[in-house]
Amino acid sequence: MTGCHCLVATTLMGLVLATATKTWRAKPFVENGVIVFAQKIREEPQQVLHYLHGSSACSMQGDFEGAAWFLIQGLKTLKEDSVSSDLLFSLGVLLLRIGNFSQGQEIFDRGLYKLIGSSYDCSDAARILEMMALMLEEEGEFEQASRCYAAAHRCIWRANQKPFRLHRISFLIRMNRLEEAENLFSLIVHRQPGSQLHLQNPVRQKTWKFGDDYGCADCLHAYMKVWNKSLEGVMSNSTVFHTREQKTYKKSREDLLERIRSLQNPRDCQAARMIVMRMEHDEMGFAASFHMVVVALSFAMQVNRTLVMEENDSWWLVDGEVCKEKSFLCYFNSIGRCRWRGTKESTREGGDGKNVSLAQMMRDERRVLVLDWKAQQKVLLHYRVRHYVPEEFKERGLLWFRSSLAGFLFRPNDFVQSHIRDHLSLLTREARSAEESVLSVHIRRGDKFTESPTVSDEVYKNIIRGLAEKKKVQHMIVESDDPVVFAKAVEWSKEFKINLLRFDTSNTTFHSGTNSKLSLQTHQINITEYATSAISLVARLALGNIFLGSFSSNVFRLAYEIAFSEENIKFSPCSLDVLWYASP
């Protein structure tokens, strides 16, 4: 960071801190969750997660000023190397939420500088830039939004990756700059300019609101129209699904599953080369944790080792009084015949991966490699691991490969089945018996406001209207962590004459992600009830064959992947923030 930039950032931070401290100095902490984390900060002032969790606790109550206060306290207290990019991005979002655009952008810049300086993978930085651009666009700040989109595009292009988030294309379409959109898309997809898509100028409303392109009766989301036309025949890393190729997909999937079963069931487990996966972290919700296991299985295939789930684990999503092992296997069937129960001796045998790089681990000759949380961050989040596809399946693409792994792993055990069978079986029968299109809608709220723009109910309504008209949707499943949404869903189903497939929600826990962790820590929900509800939620959404939601949500993305693995997709997914991508 240049001296000038640093001075500006320091001056800005002083203004932000002064304003927020003045606002909040006399404001008491009245909610249990907030009190808990305020106390944790006093006890451990250098623990960055306390500030992030305290901020989320305030956001759960709709108190954005309080949420900003926690993050600002973190900036005042934490050492510079402890201030994470997540904290800076969260504060930047909060400042944007309350209309403080100039300061919000400065905080974003600081977070991006820290993120790019500590990572070889630009995809996270691009996601943040595009999120900020969408928020600026909604506020009519088109020039600033355009700069953010362009920066996101350059960030991914510099990393020589095919962008999976192409909001700049959508932005150009919305601004009626169609020739630029066509050329840029062709350049991105084919690495060469010149392919014209001949877009028709879509009918425009006087003002654009986030999501309008999906619900436009005459264009049904021009962005997806560009995406589908440009990617015909280009399967790698795309969400395109050609129903005419389902037979060849089925054969490939059978071959892949046979390879997985062979790898996961060696003749002699005592001699097998293994990777042991631990679920010891406490920073991810259910679906994000599950995605880490998916990546672990992919990595095991990459290095030709058997993946084994630690049985003596400490997964925060398991109640030790219900399942003392606290492992992945408390909720899901075994993924192979080999077993591993961690002990001090076994850790020495397998080796601790905390200080091991990806290159070292791929060369490691020890029989057992243990992936603890720190090793997972270094190895599983590396772009070479996240983007891996076996050579014989590359033509099927990354989405197909990862979805097949997710389908293999997502097999709830008898304990979970006993909890979810009653309220899932009727819904399953209704959805599977329907020959028409079944729309799965996931409306994610809660703590997601720090990760991507939250979208209003009206946007979802417009999109559902467009899908009902264009895709003849007859049935609809609506899921949300916001209970108010369900009353809206009933209204939409009546207005658009869509059969709303429902189940008994009287005993369902409407918590997810970071907010769930906060709720568990403050004893607001039952951990087993939450975990089984989360698994049931994914299973219900996966019953659809048309999907509407946000792929920034691991829950929605996982449900789509499971449906994709079952070859149950009738239309490209409608994601309101990002296209499908390969990160947990």
pLDDT digits (tens, 9 = 90+) for 513-571: 444 444 455 445 688 888 998 999 999 999 998 898 888 789 999 999 999 898 878 77
* 3-class DSSP assignment, residue 360: helix
Residue 411: what pLDDT?
96
- Whether 191 shows a pLDDT value over 90: the answer reads no
How many residues are there in the chain?
Answer: 584
- Whether 31 shows a pLDDT value over 80: the answer reads no
Residue 484: what pLDDT?
82
Domain co-membership, 422 together with 395 = no
Distance CA 502, CA 504 (A): 7
Q: Is residue 485 situated within a structural domain?
A: yes
Q: Is residue 182 situated within a structural domain?
A: yes
- Whether 283 shows a pLDDT value over 60: the answer reads yes
Distance CA 564, CA 79 (A): 45
Banded model confidence at residue 356, pLDDT cuts 50, 70, 90: low
Mean of pLDDT values over 186-201: 46
Name the percent of the chain lying above pLDDT 70: 59
CATH number at residue 521: 3.40.50
Q: Is residue 144 situated within a structural domain?
A: yes
Residue 483: what pLDDT?
78
Residue 94: what pLDDT?
75
Q: Is residue 69 situated within a structural domain?
A: yes
Distance CA 20, CA 72 (A): 8
Residue 509: what pLDDT?
46
Q: Which of 27-31, 292-296, 485-489, 506-510 has the lowest mean pLDDT?
A: 27-31
Q: Which of 23-32, 60-69, 134-143, 188-197 has the lowest mean pLDDT?
A: 23-32
Domain co-membership, 372 together with 516 = no
Q: Which of 11-15, 91-95, 110-114, 488-492 has the lowest mean pLDDT?
A: 11-15
Mean of pLDDT values over 136-153: 71
Mean of pLDDT values over 493-509: 73
Domain count, the chain: 3
Longest alpha-carbon distance in the chain? 69
Mean of pLDDT values over 428-450: 73
Check residues 121 and 280 and name the one with the higher pLDDT.
Answer: 280
Most confident by average pLDDT, 97-106, 184-193, 277-286: 277-286
Residue in the structure block whose two tokens are 């490699």: 369
Residue 99: what pLDDT?
66
Residue 334: what pLDDT?
94
Most confident by average pLDDT, 203-207, 239-243, 435-439, 474-478: 474-478
**Among the listed residues 166, 154, 168, the one whose alpha carbon sits nearest the alpha carbon of residue 125:** 154
pTM of the predicted model over 0.75? no
Residue 2: what pLDDT?
35
Q: Is residue 584 situated within a structural domain?
A: no
Distance CA 156, CA 137 (A): 21
Residue 1: what pLDDT?
36
Distance CA 456, CA 335 (A): 40
Domain co-membership, 252 together with 207 = no
CATH number at residue 62: 1.25.40.10
Domain co-membership, 212 together with 325 = no
pLDDT digits (tens, 9 = 90+) for 152-163: 766 655 554 444
Check residues 242 and 332 and name the one with the higher pLDDT.
Answer: 332
Task: Give the burial string for 521-555 (b: 16+ CB within 10 Å, else e).
Answer: bbebbebbebbbbbbbbbbbbbbbbbbbbbbbbbb
The answer to whether residues 273 and 306 touch, using CB atoms and an 8 Å cutoff, is yes
Mean of pLDDT values over 263-273: 94
Distance CA 378, CA 393 (A): 26
Domain co-membership, 34 together with 121 = yes
Q: Is residue 238 situated within a structural domain?
A: no
**Among the listed residues 303, 333, 327, 302, the one whose alpha carbon sits nearest the alpha carbon of residue 314:** 327
What's the whole-number average pLDDT of the chain? Answer: 71
CA distances from 295 to 58, 161, 391, 395 (A): 33, 19, 17, 19
Domain co-membership, 224 together with 176 = yes
Distance CA 542, CA 575 (A): 15
Residue 23: what pLDDT?
40
With residue 309 as reference, give the H or E element that holds it: strand 306-309
Distance CA 427, CA 452 (A): 30
Q: Which of 48-62, 327-341, 397-411, 499-513 has the lowest mean pLDDT?
A: 499-513
Domain co-membership, 360 together with 495 = no
CA distances from 513 to 58, 90, 319, 322, 415 (A): 15, 15, 17, 22, 22
The answer to whether residues 385 and 546 touch, using CB atoms and an 8 Å cutoff, is no
500 bridge partner residues: 476
Residue 217: what pLDDT?
32
Domain co-membership, 189 together with 333 = no
- Whether 202 shows a pLDDT value over 70: the answer reads no
**Among the listed residues 546, 555, 539, 553, the one whose alpha carbon sits nearest the alpha carbon of residue 574:** 546
Domain co-membership, 161 together with 272 = no
Q: Looking at residue 437, what DSSP letter applies?
A: E
Q: At residue 129, what is the residue type?
A: L
- Whether 508 shows a pLDDT value over 50: the answer reads no
pLDDT digits (tens, 9 = 90+) for 251-260: 888 999 999 9
Domain co-membership, 130 together with 39 = yes
Q: Given phi > 0 = left and psi -120 to 50 = alpha, else beta, which region is 92? A: alpha
Most confident by average pLDDT, 107-116, 300-309, 364-373, 377-386: 300-309
| Sign of the torsion angle spanned by Cα atoms 387, 391, 395, 401 | negative
Residue in the structure block whose two tokens are 């979002």: 93
Banded model confidence at residue 241, pLDDT cuts 50, 70, 90: very low
Banded model confidence at residue 435, pLDDT cuts 50, 70, 90: low
Distance CA 234, CA 246 (A): 16
275: domain range?
Answer: 245-409
- Whether 105 shows a pLDDT value over 50: the answer reads yes
Q: What angle do CA 210, 212, 217 make, to 5 degrees?
A: 170
- Whether 418 shows a pLDDT value over 50: the answer reads yes
SS3 content of the chain, % helix, strand, coil (to 5): 55, 5, 35
Residue 263: what pLDDT?
96
- Whether 388 shows a pLDDT value over 90: the answer reads no
Among candidate residues 360, 385, 409, the one where a domain is terminated: 409
How many CA atoms are closer than 13 Å to the CA of 437, on its beta-carbon side? 21
Banded model confidence at residue 124, pLDDT cuts 50, 70, 90: low
Q: Is residue 458 situated within a structural domain?
A: yes
How many CA atoms are closer than 13 Å to the CA of 223, on its beta-carbon side? 26
pLDDT digits (tens, 9 = 90+) for 315-352: 988 988 999 989 999 999 999 999 887 644 444 444 55
Among candidate residues 230, 263, 295, the one where a domain is terminated: 230
Q: Which of 168-182, 196-210, 440-454 has the lowest mean pLDDT?
A: 196-210
Banded model confidence at residue 226, pLDDT cuts 50, 70, 90: very low
Distance CA 178, CA 271 (A): 60
Q: Is residue 263 situated within a structural domain?
A: yes
Domain co-membership, 176 together with 78 = yes
Among candidate residues 409, 439, 456, the one where a domain is terminated: 409
Banded model confidence at residue 182, pLDDT cuts 50, 70, 90: low
Domain co-membership, 225 together with 317 = no
